[in-house]
Amino acid sequence: MFDDLFLSSQNKKHLSNLLSLAKVDGFFHLHEYELLLAIARKLGVSSGYLQKLQKSADPISLSLPKKPLEKFHYWYDLLTMVLADGVIHEKEIAFVEKLSQIFEYSPQIIEPTLQLIQEGKTFEEAFHILKESYFAN
Of 57, 60, 54, 43, residue with least CA distance to 7: 43
Q: Above 60 in pLDDT, residue 57?
A: no
pLDDT digits (tens, 9 = 90+) for 67-121: 899 889 989 998 998 898 888 888 888 888 988 888 889 999 999 999 999 999 9
Rounded Cα–Cα distance for residues 65 and 120 (Å) = 24
Residue 56 lies in a domain: yes
Residue 2 lies in a domain: no
Rounded Cα–Cα distance for residues 89 and 102 (Å) = 20
**Burial label, 56 (beta-carbon count in 10 A; 0-12, 13-18, 19+):** exposed
Residue 62 lies in a domain: yes
pLDDT, residue 127, reads: 96
Give the phi and the psi of residue 131 in degrees, each rounded to 5. Answer: -60, -35
Task: Quickly state the pLDDT bin for 130 (edges 50, 70, 90).
Answer: very high
Q: Give the residue, 129 or 102, on which the prediction is more confident.
A: 129
Q: Above 70 in pLDDT, residue 61?
A: no
pLDDT, residue 1, reads: 42
Distances (CA, A) of 57 to 2, 88, 111, 137: 18, 22, 26, 33
pLDDT, residue 3, reads: 44
How many alpha carbons lie under 13 Å from residue 102 in its C-beta half-sphere?
A: 18
pLDDT digits (tens, 9 = 90+) for 22-39: 776 666 777 888 888 888
- What share of the chain in percent tops pLDDT 70? 82
> Domain residues for 96?
7-134
Residue 1 lies in a domain: no
**Burial label, 105 (beta-carbon count in 10 A; 0-12, 13-18, 19+):** buried
Rounded Cα–Cα distance for residues 57 and 15 (Å) = 8
The CA-based angle 39-32-125, given to 5 degrees, is 55
Please count the structural domains in the chain. 1
Residue 11 lies in a domain: yes
CATH number of 107's domain: 1.10.3680
